[in-house]
Every structure is written in structure tokens, then in C-alpha cells.
């Protein structure tokens, strides 16, 4: 009987051992799953990071390439019915699109800080709005209709895609942040090389209604699959611990000095992209040659954004903005101001895109500069207010450039490009380009 009791005890102990061993195995499996779930993909390298950057590049190309190729539409709208009879405000279409996208950034960044879980959903909603905007623009019969659709509504959709991309990119790239942002922004340039020729050919053959509808279809086909790769790197819990907005950086000179230079540069930056095709045709060149000017500016932007972004990782940001401004001033006053022939205009377009076009790639350096003075500053909000500065320039440059062109200053009096009626535009663009480098002077005299 004692042996039966002992055997029973042994069997009970074995069951307890098996149950505890099974419990340990279950806990180990759960812990392994948990570890796998929270293993972060590496930053700055790896398949996931580069696929994300490739997606950013293409989305940037599709969303921003369209308004940055507006010069082709500007030339078409001013010379074709139903808009040529009353062309006032056509320049506002393109500048309102880019301007509102820039100006809306702080609002979106603040919203995403408060509700981070909606960031990915916003990209889909934004694409839908973009598509509706382009289709609606194809039914326009007045310039005001185009401003509301191709300008304002398109901007609303575009910024809903753009802002989450900026926030996610800040998570995926840390040591190579400047290069990564430069490569993403180069997408606008690549698109700006291809789109002007495509749009010009479609406008000539099919008119603006079919062209806009075709682009809407292209947006859905090309952009929708790419949004899969536009995703955050960090788990949501890690990105939503602090929801309080810290705007104390707005009281520092470290922000306002480069921001002032940014606004000044933006006032003139968009003028060549708006008017180069029209300028070329006014000098007796063909529409294709005018489109070539715009494409060369955007080709310069491709390389400019990348090299400026790489320089920003290695040099003080004020030195980089000074280099951009110096090259842009040379391009405007020499190659545009003295240009009435195709070769000179080609040189201007390429050099201007390479220098002025790379200016926004310095934003990562400005962010690091501001955060060096205010460690609590939020990256998204700094970017947002830098974008506001750019947006002010974009919005103002439309009506401002129309007013400057209306005066026809020095036409028939000055020589070469300065005497074509565009002389005041050329000088204004050059002055604002020079002002874009003013933060370098401020740093040299100890203001920053």
C-alpha cells in the first residue's frame, strides 16, 4: 500500500512538472512572439528603410511634380480658350497649390501629434482628394474654377500625403537624414523633367480636359500601390507618449534668422518655373523649347536636392544656404539677365535648379540648429513653420510677379534679357536669391 501511495505521489509530481514545464514553454513562446513584434527595423540602412525611401521619392514626384510643372499649363491657359479671354489670375493657380501645401503643414503636424494613429489613413484620403481635384479642374470654364480645384483643393489633398511622409522619414533616417530628405525631394525634380514634356504633348493633342483626366488616372495607378511603403518605423506607443506642443523655439533667433532668409528666398524662387515657358515663346522660341527650360530647372533640382542634403550633413547649414544663394544669384543676373538665346537660357535653367532648387534641402540642418538651442522643440513643428515661410513666398509670388510684369519696366530701353519686359522680374528674383543667404552673414557677425 505504501508503494501505491508513493507511486501516486510520483505521478502527481510528474503531472505538476509537466504542467509547469508546459507553462514555461508557453511563456517562452509568448515572449519570443512579443520580442519579434517589437523588434524595430534598422534606421539608415536595410531593405525596409530603402523601400520606404523609394516610396517617398515616387510619391513626392507624383504629388509635387504636378504643381511644379505648372509653367506648361500657364502657357496653355493664357493662349487657349476658355481662359485666354480673361487670363488674369492664371499665375495664382500654380502658386496657390504650392503655397497652401506649405502653409497647411503646421496644422497637419499639430494634428498628427495629437492623433498619431490617423497619419497613415490621411495618405489615402489625401490621394482621393488629389484625384477629385484634378478631375474637377477638367470641367473648369473660368480661371477661378481652376484656382479652386487645381490650386486649393489639390493642395489640401497633397499636404495630407506630404506631412505623414515627413514624419515617417524622420524616424527611418537619423545619421543620414539630410541625404535622405534630399533624395526624397529630388523626386520633384525627376517628375519635373518628365512631366512638362508629357503634359505639353497631351495639351497640344488633346486639350486640358483630357490631359487632366489622364493625370488623375495616372495618380491612382502609380501612387496607390506606393502608399503601402509609406509607413512609420516606430510603434505607435513610442510616438505618442508626449502630446503637448512645444512652440518655444518660435521665440529664438536660431529659428527666425534662417526663417527670414527662407521667406525671402521663396518670394522669388517660383518665378522662373512659372514664367520660363512664356518667356521663351516671347523671344521667338518654340513651345517645346520653352518646355525644355522648365525641364532643365527640374533636372537641376534633382542633383541640387541630393548634394545640398549631403552637404547639410557635413557643414553648418548657414554655409550651405550661402552656397545655394551665391550660385542662384550668378545664374539669375548673368545667365538669365543676359539671355535671349536658347543656349544661355539652358545654362540658366540648369544652374538655377541646381542651386536655388536645392535650398529646401537645408531644412534638416535648420531643424538640427534649432533643436541645438531648444532640445524640446518638435521636429515636425519646425518643419511645418519652415514650410509656412516657403508657402508665404509661393502665394505672394503669383500676384506679385503679375504686377511686376505688368509694368514692362526697361522694355526696349535696356539690353538683352533686361530689356524684354521681364527685366524687373529678373532683378527681383536675383535680389530674393541673395537674401536667401543672409543667415550666413548673421552667423558671421554673431547674431546666430
Listing DSSP states for 101-153 in one string gives HHHTHHHHHHHHHH-GGGHHHHHHHHHHHHHHHHHHHTT--SHHHHIIIIIII
Q: Specify the higher pLDDT residue, 243 or 421.
A: 421
User: What are the Cα distances from residue 329, in Å, to 29, 86, 356?
Assistant: 64, 34, 9
Greater confidence (66 vs 192) lies with: 66
pLDDT average, residue stretch 163-191: 86
Q: Does the pLDDT value for residue 181 go beyond 80?
A: yes
pLDDT at res. 28: 42
* Max Cα distance, the chain (Å): 125
Compute the Cα dihedral for 230, 235, 237, 239 and give only its sign: negative
Mean pLDDT score of the chain: 85
3-state helix, strand, coil in the chain (%, to 5): 80, 0, 20
Nearest alpha-carbon partner for 407 in 433, 427, 436: 427
DSSP states of 31-81 as a string? HHHHHHHTPPPPSSSSHHHHHHHHHHHHHHHHHHHHHHTHHHHHHHHHHST
Q: What percent of the chain has pLDDT over 70?
A: 90
Q: How far apart are CA 107 and CA 381, in angstroms?
A: 9
Residue 374 has pLDDT above 90, yes or no: no
Residue 351 CA: distances (Å) to CA of 66, 126, 324, 416: 22, 33, 10, 19
From residue 285, how far is each of 78, 175, 292 by CA, in Å?
17, 46, 11
- Residue 423 contacts residue 410 (beta carbons within 8 Å): yes
Measure the CA–CA gap between 411 and 417, rounded to whole angstroms. Answer: 9
Q: Output DSSP code: residue 82.
A: T
Looking at residue 154, the DSSP 8-state letter turns out to be: H
Half-sphere exposure at residue 232, Cβ-oriented, CA atoms within 13 angstroms: 17
The pLDDT value recorded for residue 182 is 84
Q: Which residue from 186, 445, 447, 422 is spatially nearest to 307, judged by alpha carbons?
A: 186
User: Model confidence over 22-55: pLDDT tens digits?
Assistant: 554 555 444 444 444 457 888 888 888 899 999 8
Average pLDDT over residues 56-62: 89
- In a 13 Å sphere around the CA of 33, the CA atoms on its Cβ side amount to 6
How many other CB atoms are found less than 10 A from the CB of residue 12? 10
Question: What is the DSSP secondary structure assignment for residue 249, as one 8-state letter?
Answer: G
Query: Pick from 316, 368, 372, 395: which is nearest to 147 by CA?
Result: 395
How many CB atoms within 10 Å of residue 390? 27
With a cut of 70, say whether residue 3 has pLDDT above it. no
pLDDT at 375 over 90: no
Q: Return the pLDDT at 85.
A: 85
- What's the pLDDT band for 280 if we cut at 50, 70, 90? confident
**Rounded to whole angstroms, how far apart are CA atoms 49 and 54?**
9
Residue 95, pLDDT > 50, answer yes
| DSSP 8-state class, residue 315 | S
Q: pLDDT band for position 161 (50/70/90)?
A: very high
| 341 phi and psi angles, rounded to 5 deg | -120, 160
Q: How far apart are CA 99 and CA 134, in angstroms?
A: 17
User: CA angle at residue 396 from 304 to 332, to 5 degrees?
Assistant: 40
Cis bond upstream, residue 296 (ω within 30) = no
Q: Residues in the chain, how many? A: 448
Do 262 and 390 form a contact (C-beta atoms < 8 A)? yes
CA angle 141, 70, 308 (to 5 degrees): 160
For 235, the 3-state DSSP assignment is: coil
Contact 230, 121 (CB under 8 A): no
DSSP state at residue 411: T
Residues 358 and 300: their CA atoms lie apart, in Å, by 8
User: CA–CA separation, 151 vs 20, rounded Å?
Assistant: 67
**226: Cβ contacts below 8 Å, ≥ 6 apart:** 55, 58, 59
Q: Please state the rounded mean pLDDT for residues 380-397.
A: 88
pTM: 0.76
Which tens digit of pLDDT belongs to each residue from 114-131? 888 899 999 999 999 999
Amino acid at each position: 500500500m505504501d508503494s501505491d501511495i508513493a507511486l501516486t505521489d510520483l505521478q502527481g509530481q510528474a503531472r505538476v512538472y509537466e504542467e509547469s514545464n508546459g507553462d514555461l514553454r508557453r511563456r517562452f513562446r509568448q515572449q519570443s512572439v512579443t520580442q519579434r513584434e517589437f523588434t524595430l527595423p534598422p534606421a539608415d540602412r536595410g531593405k525596409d528603410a530603402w523601400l520606404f525611401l523609394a516610396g517617398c521619392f515616387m510619391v513626392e514626384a507624383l504629388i509635387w511634380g504636378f504643381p511644379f510643372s505648372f509653367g506648361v499649363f500657364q502657357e496653355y491657359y493664357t493662349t487657349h480658350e476658355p481662359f485666354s479671354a480673361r487670363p488674369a489670375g492664371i499665375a495664382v493657380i500654380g502658386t496657390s497649390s504650392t503655397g497652401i501645401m506649405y502653409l497647411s503643414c503646421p496644422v497637419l503636424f499639430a494634428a498628427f501629434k495629437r492623433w498619431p494613429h490617423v497619419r497613415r489613413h490621411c495618405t489615402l484620403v489625401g490621394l482621393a482628394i488629389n484625384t477629385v481635384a484634378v478631375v474637377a479642374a477638367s470641367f473648369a470654364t473660368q480661371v477661378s474654377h481652376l484656382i479652386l480645384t487645381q490650386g486649393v483643393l489639390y493642395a489640401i489633398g497633397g499636404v495630407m500625403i506630404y506631412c505623414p511622409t515627413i514624419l515617417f522619414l524622420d524616424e527611418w533616417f537619423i545619421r543620414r537624414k539630410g541625404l535622405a530628405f534630399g533624395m526624397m525631394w529630388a523626386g520633384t525634380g525627376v517628375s519635373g523633367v518628365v512631366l512638362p514634356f508629357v503634359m505639353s504633348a497631351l495639351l497640344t493633342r488633346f486639350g486640358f480636359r483630357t490631359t487632366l483626366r489622364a493625370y488623375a488616372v495616372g495618380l491612382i495607378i502609380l501612387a496607390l500601390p506606393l502608399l503601402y511603403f509609406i509607413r512609420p518605423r516606430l510603434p505607435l506607443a513610442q510616438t505618442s507618449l508626449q502630446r503637448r506642443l512645444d512652440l518655444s523655439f518660435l521665440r529664438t533667433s536660431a529659428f527666425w534668422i534662417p526663417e527670414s532668409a527662407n521667406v525671402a528666398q521663396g518670394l522669388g524662387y517660383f518665378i522662373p518655373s512659372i514664367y520660363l515657358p512664356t518667356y521663351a515663346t516671347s523671344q521667338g522660341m518654340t513651345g517645346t523649347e520653352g518646355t525644355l527650360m522648365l525641364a532643365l530647372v527640374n533636372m537641376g533640382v534633382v542633383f541640387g536636392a541630393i548634394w545640398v542634403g549631403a552637404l547639410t550633413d557635413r557643414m553648418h547649414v548657414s554655409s550651405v544656404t550661402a552656397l545655394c544663394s551665391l550660385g542662384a544669384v550668378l545664374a539669375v543676373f548673368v545667365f538669365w539677365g543676359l539671355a535671349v538665346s536658347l543656349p544661355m537660357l539652358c545654362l540658366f535653367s540648369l544652374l538655377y535648379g541646381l542651386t536655388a532648387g536645392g535650398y529646401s534641402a537645408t531644412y534638416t540642418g535648420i531643424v538640427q540648429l534649432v533643436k541645438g538651442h531648444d532640445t524640446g522643440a518638435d521636429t515636425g513643428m519646425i518643419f511645418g513653420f519652415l514650410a509656412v515661410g516657403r508657402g508665404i513666398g509661393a502665394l505672394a509670388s503669383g500676384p506679385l510677379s503679375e504686377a511686376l510684369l505688368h509694368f514692362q519696366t526697361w522694355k526696349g530701353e535696356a539690353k538683352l534679357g533686361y530689356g524684354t519686359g521681364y527685366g524687373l522680374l529678373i532683378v527681383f528674383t536675383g535680389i530674393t536669391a541673395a537674401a536667401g543667404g543672409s543667415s550666413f552673414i548673421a552667423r558671421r557677425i554673431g547674431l546666430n
